[in-house]
Amino acid sequence: MSHNGERTTSTVRRILKATTERLKQADVPDARLNAELLLAHALGVRRPMLFARPEAAVPPEAARRLEALTRRRAAREPLQYLLGEWEFYGRSFEVTPAVMVPRQETEFLVHKCLEKLPPGAVGPAADVGTGSGVIAVNLAAEREKLRLVAADISPAALAVARRNARRHGVADRVMPVLADLAAPLRPGAFALVASNPPYVPSGEICGLQPEVAQHEPRAALDGGPDGLEAVRRLLPQAGHALEPGGWVALEIGPGQWEPTRHIARRCECYDIETAEFVRDPAGCRRVFCVRKRVG
């Protein structure tokens, strides 16, 4: 009996090994890290606790929770949706299937926006296509007087953004607005318009990781045949909304900086000589930033 009991007891070490193997067989990237995060979530503890007590027994109810999570992760459901939250710019945000998973490259956009917003900036600023609200909430958290509009066409996404604004104590300065891009923004009123628009070319979506192609909201990904449909609509709208000297900052895909600059030049409201970019660690120009003409 003792032998059978010992064999069926799941310790942290054993269950991590088994879970990692299952995820590897399903071609899940970073299988070991995924296993650790899922087990910590199932146990209701922080990940470092797993390393502090590797021989601790995993309670049956936690093992059952982990089994359900592992099955979904092996089917390539995004880890972030299973955990229900994810860290971005040093803060933890609620994430649901109604919104895109926050990605590290978007932190370059937040950083560029903060460059354009001095510490005492009041704004208003706008985050167009806000999704989970990570851009708007971080800007509000980093600039304690800044007022923002967080616009999205999805009511479900706006609900997540609203909860994230409350989570980080900035709900009084972040106004969720149901809108298709920047069309309803007040003309000439905004110091900055930021956006992470859909920019993946339609034909490339099926080639993305299953987590993205099958589970993230397609409307937040699909930028049309060349990936620039939203940018073509957004840049003129943003130019209308910006005050003279205000900035627009967009996250863009690889190879899209020159076409985006060309679209901005055709708008005629932008001083194209001020166009700036930020490179990601792979060397791609990930952020397009340009100023509205003064006078």
On whether both 90 and 125 belong to a single domain, the answer is yes
* Residue 56 phi, psi (nearest 5): -65, 145
CATH number at residue 24: 1.10.8.10
Q: Please give the Cα distance from 76 to 29 (Å, whole number).
A: 10
Is it the case that residue 294 has pLDDT exceeding 80? yes
On whether both 60 and 124 belong to a single domain, the answer is no
Band the pLDDT of 54: cuts 50, 70, 90: confident
The total of other beta-carbon atoms located within 10 Å of residue 151's CB is 26
State the pLDDT at residue 4: 38
In a domain, 106, yes or no: yes
State the pLDDT at residue 9: 62
On whether both 69 and 102 belong to a single domain, the answer is no
State the pLDDT at residue 2: 31
For residue 110, what are its two tokens?
């937040």
On whether both 142 and 114 belong to a single domain, the answer is yes
Round the average pLDDT of the chain to a whole number and report it: 93
On whether both 51 and 135 belong to a single domain, the answer is no
State the pLDDT at residue 7: 42
Choose one of 46, 75, 104: the last residue of a domain: 75
Expressed as residue numbers, the domain containing 126 is 85-292
Strand order in the sheet with 174-178: 174-178, 148-152, 125-128, 190-195, 242-251, 285-292, 270-279
In a domain, 231, yes or no: yes
pLDDT tens sequence across 150-175: 999 999 999 999 999 999 999 999 99
On whether both 231 and 285 belong to a single domain, the answer is yes
Is it the case that residue 208 has pLDDT exceeding 60? yes
Domain count, the chain: 2
Angle among Cα 16, 26, 281 to the nearest 5 degrees reads 85
On whether both 65 and 106 belong to a single domain, the answer is no
In a domain, 80, yes or no: no
On whether both 117 and 66 belong to a single domain, the answer is no
Q: Please give the Cα distance from 56 to 20 (Å, whole number).
A: 18
Choose one of 57, 75, 93: the last residue of a domain: 75
On whether both 51 and 125 belong to a single domain, the answer is no
In a domain, 60, yes or no: yes
In a domain, 121, yes or no: yes
On whether both 226 and 95 belong to a single domain, the answer is yes
Band the pLDDT of 147: cuts 50, 70, 90: very high
Residue 164 is which amino acid? N
Q: Which whole number is the average pLDDT over 120-131?
A: 94
State the pLDDT at residue 231: 96
pLDDT tens sequence across 56-113: 999 999 999 999 999 999 999 999 999 999 999 999 999 999 999 999 999 999 999 9
In a domain, 234, yes or no: yes
List the beta bridge partners of residue 151: 128, 177
On whether both 96 and 66 belong to a single domain, the answer is no
CATH number at residue 146: 3.40.50.150
pLDDT tens sequence across 261-278: 999 999 989 999 999 999
pTM over 0.85: yes
On whether both 149 and 288 belong to a single domain, the answer is yes
